[in-house]
Structure 1
Amino acid sequence: MNVGITGQAVGLFAVTNVDDILILSLFFARGAGHRGAAGRIVLGQYLGFMAILAVAVAAAFGASFLPGAVIPYLGLLPLVLGLKAAWQAWSAHRDDADGADGADGEVKEGGGPNQWEVAAVTFANGGDNIGVYVPVFATAGAGGTSLYAVVFLVLVGVWCVAGRFFATRPVIARTLGRWGHILLPLVLVTLGLLILVEGGAFGL
């Protein structure tokens, strides 16, 4: 194993995905107490990141099927999901106020995110990472790119463990348990707006 490339891959992943730990913590907090939620979150994180890798590798080797002009509009994904999460939180709060029993363990009424929601947010949040990964992969060649991909995928698992760790610390868990239903929609909507504005989508 090329130690130099491995170290570079670790550093590159950490720098480009540090914000994912916060989002993962919110997802894990949202799924707390719901059977299978953690597995769906991990699966979604992997699906989203593998999509990022696929696009970056394809672009690096000449099949740039995702034009740069499209990337800013990926902000619509977390924006829509954030609005959906806000609606679910409001509906759950209304049902609680009416005395309805929403603790059915299913991923609805604010129960927990499913893998496709997590994948969409991961992909949208990593849209700008594609522009960073492409030149690195293009210069690393097939062998180096394969090593980068392996290291990245291992670190996705580490990120998931870290996100769940933070979400289950007593102080953090209590905070997220109390405010997570507000923080998750807020973070997703803010993330979506930042991606749209920074990318100049819709002439912003």
Structure 2
Amino acid sequence: MENLTSVSLAITLFASTNLDDLFVLVGFFSDPRYRLRQVAIGQYLGLSALVLASLAGSLLSLVVAPVWFGLLGLLPIVLGTRRLLALRSDDGDEAASEPASLGKVLAVAGVTIANGGDNIGIYTPVFATSAAPRLVLVLAVFAVMVALWLGFAHWLVHHPALGAPIRRIGRVATPFVLIGIGAMVLVEAGTLSWVTG
């Protein structure tokens, strides 16, 4: 019964904090330059970093002010702006400026981390109050949930009926989604108000 409660908690925790990640994953899968492997590795790296930061969150919050974490919001803004500029240019020379495979993995990981600022605040108290067996079970459920999120986003983008419109909309909407996520991170962390005085 306790394991079932832990699994339910983990599913609820993951789904409630990563719903917006589905839109980000659809955006990455809509971009033909990103391969499934690159997005999957980046997503797992990003979530692993969030989990590690959550485990160390109580210590980090004593040393690092949240406004500094908000600077991570600049990464999705930069990526979104670059994509927006690439959409506007009709020279078809995207391949020349295409980032390397590692760059794509790191881009996905960076957006996952930047988008996960709220995750740290929510995960930290749950992890801090969980016994080791429960914590291992929660992390295992998280790993499965990432795979489900990746699978669902990939399925949506490649669905026979839904895929083409989603790819078309995703290609145009993704830059705005990334810029919006970055702006939200900057505002919610208090970084924007701190910078503007």
After TM superposition, the score normalised by the length of structure 1 is: 0.82
2:49 is equivalent to residue 51 of structure 1:
yes
Moved over 6 A (4+): none
**Superposed CA offset, 1:76-126 (max 9, x none):** 1111111122223333xx224xxx7x6x6x8828xxx81111111111111
Residue 48 of structure 1 deviates from its aligned partner by 0.6
- What is residue 109 of structure 2 aligned with on the other side? 119
- What is residue 173 of structure 2 aligned with on the other side? 183
Residue 182 of structure 1 deviates from its aligned partner by 1.7
Question: The residue matched to 2:162 in structure 1 has which SS?
Answer: helix
Instruction: From 175, 192, 195, give the equivalent of 1:202.
Output: 192
2:139 is equivalent to residue 138 of structure 1:
no
Paired with 2:131 and 2:183, the residues of 1 have a C-alpha distance of 35
RMSD in angstroms over aligned alpha carbons? Answer: 2.5
- What is residue 13 of structure 2 aligned with on the other side? 12
Percent identity of the aligned residues?
A: 35
Q: Tell me if structure 2 keeps the 8 A contact 1:86–1:185.
A: yes
Residue 137 of structure 1 deviates from its aligned partner by 0.5
Aligned length: 190
Question: The residue matched to 2:129 in structure 1 has which SS?
Answer: helix
Instruction: From 48, 66, 87, give the equivalent of 1:68.
Output: 66
After TM superposition, the score normalised by the length of structure 2 is: 0.85
Q: Tell me if structure 2 keeps the 8 A contact 1:49–1:122.
A: yes
Q: Which amino acid aligns with 2:131?
A: G
Give the 5 Å matches for 1:81-96.
81-91=79-89, 94-96=90-92
- What is residue 164 of structure 1 aligned with on the other side? 154
Paired with 2:64 and 2:131, the residues of 1 have a C-alpha distance of 21
Residue 38 of structure 1 deviates from its aligned partner by 1.0
Structure 1: unaligned runs, 5 residues or longer: none
Paired with 1:201 and 1:59, the residues of 2 have a C-alpha distance of 18
Residue 155 of structure 1 deviates from its aligned partner by 0.7
Residue 164 of structure 1 deviates from its aligned partner by 0.5
**Superposed CA offset, 1:43-79 (max 9, x none):** 111111111011001225x455654232322211111
